[in-house]
Amino acid sequence: MFDMSTRNTNRRQFLRASTLMAVAFAGGVTGNNSLFAETKIAARIAEADQSHALMPAIKLAAKSLEAMEQVKDYQAVVVKREMIGGKFETTQMQIKFREQPMSVYLKFIEPHAGREILFQPGKHNDNMLVHETGIASLVGSLEIEPDSSLAMEHNRYPINRIGLKNLLTLNIDRWIRETQMDGVDVKYYPSAKIGDLSCKVLQITYAKKTDKTRYQSSRLFIDNETNLPVRMQNWDFPTRAGGDPVLVEDYYYSNLKTNVGLKDIDFDPENPNYDF
């Protein structure tokens, strides 16, 4: 591990040069709040307006959340596309994710092939452990605060919001709150496709922008075989009258494999297969 004092002196020089931290996060609640939110979902659904157009979508997403409760860990290739600072950025990486205790390992495919990140709340001072490639690797592995300006420079969400369960919980929570709104259109496509993967798709569109609408439209893709979420897309309202909605977030977990038996060594920087 790189010496702490030297790390503080050099990390910005090396990591900015390599545009650190295009990490793939599907915008969700933090790990600490996720369990609390899940325990309230069913009660909040029961209390919401059952005649609202959003209710079928909410209940379908809640069924997917139930399926996620059976998932202890998973591996996937994540494709993250985000609008950041007016520029659309795409990142592809491998992910290993364990629910309890929350543990994340990422290895970048492109860009910055070979970059590795580990994150486990309670370890490494609650920071991300990052190992770069190329010249930036000379400083060794670094601890980076998840919500620091450096970490957020190329991300819309911090790493503690990563994960499929967080993705569902966040959106169900938002949709329940939006059952108090008018002008919401919901469409359901039971036989959609992502390549060869058969999915059901919920598409939610809002008639007008208000201080309560976060997006102009959203799409949630749920695997028809496993009932697990695999993709989320969000569009902002057009920037000018008569313009098209602007895609700002697209998170796709491809080749998803669940309950693969991930162990502590999969999230250990001493793993001989890693370069930390």
Nearest alpha-carbon partner for 15 in 168, 124, 135, 106: 135
* The predicted structure's pLDDT at residue 147: 87
- Domain ranges for the chain: 4-179+257-267
* The predicted structure's pLDDT at residue 23: 56
* The predicted structure's pLDDT at residue 53: 96
* The predicted structure's pLDDT at residue 138: 65
* The predicted structure's pLDDT at residue 30: 40
97 contacts 261 by C-beta, under 8 angstroms: no
What gap in Å lies between CA 82 and CA 252, rounded to an integer? 12
* The predicted structure's pLDDT at residue 183: 93
Q: What are the mean pLDDT values of the chain's consecutive 10-residue runs (276 residues total)?
A: 37 42 47 52 90 96 96 97 93 97 97 95 94 77 89 86 92 92 95 96 93 92 98 93 91 98 98 95
200 contacts 224 by C-beta, under 8 angstroms: yes
Q: Following CA atoms 85, 76, 113, 247 in sequence, which dihedral angle do they give, to the nearest 10 degrees?
A: -20
Alpha-carbon distances of 275 from 79, 92, 127, 264, rounded to whole Å: 22, 19, 18, 16
pTM of the model: 0.85
* The predicted structure's pLDDT at residue 135: 74
Nearest alpha-carbon partner for 165 in 259, 264, 98: 98
Please list the residues that pair with 250 across neighbouring strands. 81, 233
What gap in Å lies between CA 215 and CA 52, rounded to an integer? 18
* The predicted structure's pLDDT at residue 6: 38
- b or e along 134-168 (b: 16 or more beta carbons within 10 Å of the residue's beta carbon)? eebeebbbbbbebeeebbbebbbbbbbbbbbbbbb
* The predicted structure's pLDDT at residue 8: 42
